[in-house]
Amino acid sequence: MDTKYPALVAHCQCGAVELSAWGRPITVNACYCDDCQAAARRLAASADSGRASRVNDGMEFMVFRRDRIACTRGANRLQAMRLTGSSKTRRMIASCCATPMYMAFDDKRPRVSAFRAPFGADAPPVQMRICTRSKRSTKKVEAGVPSHPGYPLAMMIRILAAWPFMLFSRPVGALP
């Protein structure tokens, strides 16, 4: 792996924060779980909200191995948005322009879900919709993308299969 040149680069709306990813995402999802829908509504209500990766009240994510994504500029501008005080997830938002950048778990899970929109035109297309049983929006969704009521087994296997490789690799950088 060439750590000098990332495969994908994300920028906040004003360009002060940059995420770099080495390698392709494990999966690209549109999530409609209750938390993602609540976060989408909160971000939409923000007067200065930047590009949110939302679609029909869900959130679009690209899931990466934790050791293959890093904040390469502006880490000091990232602020955690938690849905509740006891939330184990934090959505990291660029404070300079309110652009959602990624979501991480407090327990250091081996994956990071980066919001798709900041990667711009280079972002791969959504591969599946997950947690659609919680979807509240009545808007039509585009055909051709599989929908799953929960977390599909194939997605979980891909995520779990990536984990052993992290045991023997060096992280490319850090995420706050």
Over residues 132-145, mean pLDDT: 73
Contacts of 49 (CB under 8 A, 6+ apart): 43, 98
Phi, psi angle pair for 112, to nearest 5°: -130, 135
Whether 96 shows a pLDDT value over 60: the answer reads: yes
Q: What is the CA radius of gyration of the chain?
A: 15
Whether 51 shows a pLDDT value over 80: the answer reads: no
> Which amino acid belongs to residue 17?
V
Whether 171 shows a pLDDT value over 60: the answer reads: yes
Instruction: Please tell me the predicted confidence (pLDDT) of residue 25.
Output: 96
**Among 20-24, 38-42, 93-97, where is mean pLDDT lowest?**
38-42
**Among 31-40, 55-64, 99-108, where is mean pLDDT lowest?**
55-64
Is residue 56 very low, low, confident or very high in pLDDT (cuts 50, 70, 90)? low
For the chain, how far is it from start to end, CA to CA, in angstroms? 23
Cβ-based neighbour number of residue 39 at 10 Å: 25
**Among 11-20, 101-110, 128-137, where is mean pLDDT lowest?**
128-137
Strand, helix or coil at 30? strand
Is residue 10 very low, low, confident or very high in pLDDT (cuts 50, 70, 90)? very high
Whether 53 shows a pLDDT value over 60: the answer reads: no
Domains belonging to the chain, first-starting first, are 8-164 (3.90.1590.10)
Whether 2 shows a pLDDT value over 90: the answer reads: no
